[in-house]
Amino acid sequence: MLSRRDILRAAGIGTIATSLPGWALAKPDSDARFVLIILRGAADGLAIAAPYGDANYRKIRGELSMPAPGEDDGLLRLDNTFGLHPSLPGVYAQYEKNQAIVVHALASPYRSRSHFDGQDVLENGAAGTASLRDGWLNRALAPLGGSLGNEVAIAMAQNTPLVLRGNNSVTSWAPSQLPDADASTLRRLQDMYADDEFFATRLVQALKSQEIADSESSMGEMKLRNRNSQQQRLMMEAAARFLTAEDGPRIAVLESGGWDTHANQGTTSGALANKLAGLDEGLTALRDQLGEMWSKTVVAVVTEFGRTVAVNGTRGTDHGTASAAILLGGAVKGGRVIADWPGLGKTDLFENRDLMPTSDMRSMFKGIMSDHLSVPDSLLDNTVFPDSVTARPMRDLIRS
Amino acid sequence: MTMKSAIAANRFGLGARPGDLETIEKGPVVWLLDQLQGPSRQAGELRKLPGSAVVLQEIDEIRKADREMRELATAEAAPDIVKQYGRTVRGHFSAQSEARYRVAADSDHPFHERLVHFWSNHFAVSVDKNPLAAIAGLYENEAIRSNISGKFADLLIACEQHPAMIMYLDNQRSIGPNSTLGRRANRGQRKRAVGLNENLAREILELHTLGVDGGYTQADVTTFAKVITGWSIGGAGNAGRFLEGDPGTFEFRESIHEPGTQQIMGNRYSQKGLQQGKAVLRDLAIHPSTARFIATKLARHFVADEPPAALVDELVATYLESGGELSEVYETLVGADAVWLEPHSKYKSPHDFVISTFRAFDHVPDRARLVVGALDTMGQAPFRPGSPAGWPDTAEHWGGADALYKRIEWSNTVSRVVGSRVNPVDLGDAILGATFSPESRKAISRAESNVQGLTLLLASPDFQRR
């Protein structure tokens, strides 16, 4: 009986490794791994890394202020100004090992407060509009040498999020409880799809990730029907398996929803604390499962924008502007908070309500793409992030 | 059999059942327009469901018992209540999901049913927020089902006043700073200031009416949030507040409503109380930005991911001339030549795919679990878009590689169940008619087994598109 690999080979695409001629000068570290985690719904950067040392913090955050480091359930001290949310002990352990960075007062170029446009700009890499139809991470794949059936990037979901959509072939994977289709049916489907590029391409991509999943014995049995707190951990573990598989992808994208805390956000416990604890558990599982590959990995945890500095009328926060991002991994030059801190005084805020953005999220991504994945700066300035010459890459994020 | 019948059944309807194309052939446009008012009597599946007020009262009772237990600190009793809560919510969710997909599989008014789903997604709530799972299907039936062929303003007001929407977007305790209760609370030097929650106001402007580029500002969002303070739910209170009103139904609370004249997008609203919010919604409903936003979404759903500009303009014109009369907009839509040209311009969503599969086999699913599980596996769990924007409506969203693979696996699973009872080529002819391509037909006719042939039919580009 034919295996999936045989089907791919028969199609003549599984084994062709291509390299694009224009990027001969780049010397990518082929072991470098990158994981992007998108928190959808605008995660509250002022709760993820609270500026307890800012003189205005308690006054303006009121009942959503976090207890200072050293108090009961207090913040985990990052430096004299910032403390990490106590539900992120795994991230903090990495921070103490100099393998995590918090980047604060960070925002994409988007300055309105729609989740959906905000997520589009975060993902399409445009200089502020939601209309670009492919994703910056897809455009960054060109020099990394992937091709149809030999994808460099995987979306850990049935569908591909905007950040990975585009001309470069990517794949996606999510666990299934359905029985496999047999090889003969799959081959006939390939024949039937031959003249329809939309279907033909996707089938090849899917077969590739199935092939890797098949080689990882326990993955096929993953049961994720319950959307409980375990899901994030299981998806992170699955991502790590793809990233460590021979001939597998080097880049993975994961998504997490439910960060839109308009009401009863909570502080050391409550809705947001639970979300953060689930994230932390997932990140720890990712590190454990990556094993030695962790030393070559950068994980970026980002969100589309932040939340209002002041508490709203329902013990939550409304849509804001700047937020915080977390970078972690063995390849990260960590143990630092990177922030040009704008302050929380009334006149310091963006439109009198939000944390003022002082760092451009594109700069952070450009630093990672350039120094970790060796994507050429010219490509980053003009194509990956169009019209972004002024958003200089953040250097010094990656251990040399 | 003409192309037009197949397009009517598969693009505008929910997929042909064997025999449908013969009926539709007599007059596809008339067949569609005759459905707009829905069936004369609501399907039994829907009639037997309890109303959302009843369900919310039931949930309130469980929560109340839980609170009392906690106050008595009889810790050993609490886990039972948590279990009971989960069981209750899941039970309602299963019953409502089952009813939704049974009705869709069986409907003689599939165009009407598709429009119900379209508007339910436009005014989306998501069951990942508690306790929406217990009432999301009821919301669809109560606020949307009977309002889809009238004025858009009526549909809009029905949705924004439904407890599901008010809970989902956190409006029930949004308090006007100058309302009776707001002033009293803020005078009291309490640790916590009471005030606005702008979630519902923003999403009405951005997602339900004008669209994100529709011409409003942050100031309009904040003012509109003030206007709809007091739009709440009866008996929704905790800690002894907000207990008046019939539990589980819309309740306007004067005590938290921000008083005074307000200005939104240049218009002054001097109405008192509830009428002020309704007046704003009525103006929003006939705003040109709303007309364009709705027209574009409809054209995208029914014609192409990038809908023809001329068609959108036509729909906008009808919308504005009729003051947002939706039946007239639908009439313009199905009367336009552009919608009948290209039979395969839309990639089905998993929801479309699953329903059309049931209809192809003329089978009414009898276990919600299977439908919910299949849709979840394919990336579109019922009533769980995960955000108030609802599910996207384009192939670039649904076209993930893994998502296609899941469809293939499911096609295979279903085909094994159906087995040898149906000849795949005959079935293809019956449900795809003139849109069954010779390539697919040939591939299916050469299948090594009936099961394989059916799998190929369901996974074929012809069936995966509409």
Q: What is the DSSP string of B149-196?
A: TSBHHHHHHHHHTSHHHHHHTT-TT---TTSHHHHHHHHTT-SS----
Q: Does B443 touch chain A (CB under 8 A)?
A: yes
Rg value, chain B, Cα: 24
Instruction: Please state, in angstroms and rounded to a whole number, the distance separating the CA atoms of residues B316 and B292.
Output: 6
Q: Does B121 touch chain A (CB under 8 A)?
A: no
pLDDT of B426-436, one tens digit each? 999 999 999 99
B contacts of A315 (beta carbons < 8 Å): 192
Q: Does A206 touch chain B (CB under 8 A)?
A: yes
Q: What is the DSSP letter of A321?
A: S
Q: Does A116 touch chain B (CB under 8 A)?
A: yes
What lies within 8 Å, CB to CB, of B427 at 6+ separation is B18, B360, B454, B457
Q: Does A202 touch chain B (CB under 8 A)?
A: yes
Q: In whole angstroms, how far apart are CA A45 and each of A49, A276, A324, B254, B305?
A: 6, 11, 4, 35, 35
Q: Does A172 touch chain B (CB under 8 A)?
A: yes
Residue A15: the pLDDT is 37
* CB neighbour burial string for B313-334, b if at least 16 within 10 angstroms, e if fewer: ebbbebbbebebbbebbbbbbb
Q: Does B86 touch chain A (CB under 8 A)?
A: no
Q: Does A149 touch chain B (CB under 8 A)?
A: no
**Would you give the end-to-end CA distance of chain A in angstroms?**
48
Q: What is the dihedral of CA A245, A248, A249, A252, to 10 degrees?
A: -40
Residue contacts between A and B (CB atoms, under 8 Å): 182
Instruction: Please state, in angstroms and rounded to a whole number, the distance separating the CA atoms of residues B246 and B90.
Output: 24
B contacts of A206 (beta carbons < 8 Å): 401-402, 404-405
Q: Does B71 touch chain A (CB under 8 A)?
A: no
Instruction: Please state, in angstroms and rounded to a whole number, the distance separating the CA atoms of residues A260 and B168.
Output: 11
The pTM of this model reads 0.89
Instruction: Please state, in angstroms and rounded to a whole number, the distance separating the CA atoms of residues B164 and B147.
Output: 16
Averaged over successive runs of 10 residues, the pLDDT of chain A (400 residues) comes to 62 42 47 96 97 97 96 97 98 98 97 93 90 94 91 94 95 87 92 95 92 70 52 89 92 94 94 94 96 97 97 94 98 97 96 97 98 96 96 95
Secondary structure (3-state) at A172: strand
A contacts of B215 (beta carbons < 8 Å): none
| C-beta neighbour count of A26 within 10 angstroms | 16
CB contact under 8 A, A198 and B395: yes
Q: Does A190 touch chain B (CB under 8 A)?
A: no
CB contact under 8 A, B410 and A41: no
Residue B69 has phi, psi (to 5 degrees) of -60, -45
Residue A218: the pLDDT is 59
Instruction: Please state, in angstroms and rounded to a whole number, the distance separating the CA atoms of residues A313 and A264.
Output: 10
Of B197, B347, B411, nearest to A313 by CB-CB distance is: B197
What lies within 8 Å, CB to CB, of A257 at 6+ separation is A40, A41, B128, B386, B387
Residue B121 has phi, psi (to 5 degrees) of -80, -30
Residue A226: the pLDDT is 42
Selection from B273, B255, B260 nearest residue B179 by Cα? B255
Helix H or strand E segment including A254: strand A251-256
- Output B113 or B245, whichever has higher pLDDT: B113
CB contact under 8 A, B401 and A160: yes
B72-75, long-range: CB within 8 Å, 24+ apart, which pairs? none
Q: How far is A34 from chain B (nearest CA, A)?
A: 20
Number of helices and strands in chain A (H, E): 12, 12
pLDDT of B66-117, one tens digit each? 777 777 765 555 667 888 889 999 999 999 999 999 999 999 999 999 999 9
Q: Is B75 exposed, middle or buried (0-12, 13-18, 19+ CB in 10 A)?
A: exposed
Instruction: Please state, in angstroms and rounded to a whole number, the distance separating the CA atoms of residues B43 and B104.
Output: 10
Residue B236: the pLDDT is 63
Residue pair B302/B14 in contact (Cβ under 8 Å)? The answer is no
Residue B450 has phi, psi (to 5 degrees) of -60, -45
Residue A22: the pLDDT is 38
Domain ranges of chain B: 151-303+306-343, 350-464
Q: How far is A223 from chain B (nearest CA, A)?
A: 11
Percentage of chain B exceeding pLDDT 90: 83
Token pair listed for B308? 């023809």
Task: Delineate the domains of chain A, giving CATH numbers in brackets.
Answer: 33-177+229-308+326-338+357-370+377-384 (3.40.720)
Instruction: Please state, in angstroms and rounded to a whole number, the distance separating the CA atoms of residues A37 and B213.
Output: 28
Residues comprising chain B, all counted: 466
Going along A322-393, which residue ranges are E strands?
323-328, 336-338, 359-360
Residues 206-235 of B with CB under 8 A from A: 206-207, 212, 218, 221
Instruction: Please state, in angstroms and rounded to a whole number, the distance separating the CA atoms of residues B186 and B382.
Output: 42
pLDDT of B289-321, one tens digit each? 999 999 999 999 999 999 999 999 999 999 999
Helix H or strand E segment including A219: none
pLDDT of B43-74, one tens digit each? 999 999 999 999 999 998 888 887 777 777 65
Residue pair A384/A363 in contact (Cβ under 8 Å)? The answer is no
Helices (H), B303-437: 309-322, 326-335, 350-360, 368-377, 395-398, 401-418, 424-432
The pLDDT of B235-252, averaged and rounded, is 76
Instruction: Please state, in angstroms and rounded to a whole number, the distance separating the CA atoms of residues A238 and B193.
Output: 45
Q: In whole angstroms, how far apart are CA B18 and each of A398, B228, B362, B422, B426?
A: 62, 49, 7, 11, 9
CB contact under 8 A, A312 and B198: yes
Q: Does B292 touch chain A (CB under 8 A)?
A: no
Q: How far is B317 from chain A (nearest CA, A)?
A: 25
Rg value, chain A, Cα: 21
What's the complex ipTM?
0.92
Pairing of strands A153-155, B262-264: unpaired
DSSP conformation letters of B77-105 = GHHHHHHHHHHHHHHHHHHHHHHHHHHHH
Handedness of CA B157, B159, B160, B162 (dihedral sign): positive
pLDDT of B183-227, one tens digit each? 988 787 655 667 899 999 999 999 999 999 999 999 999 999 999
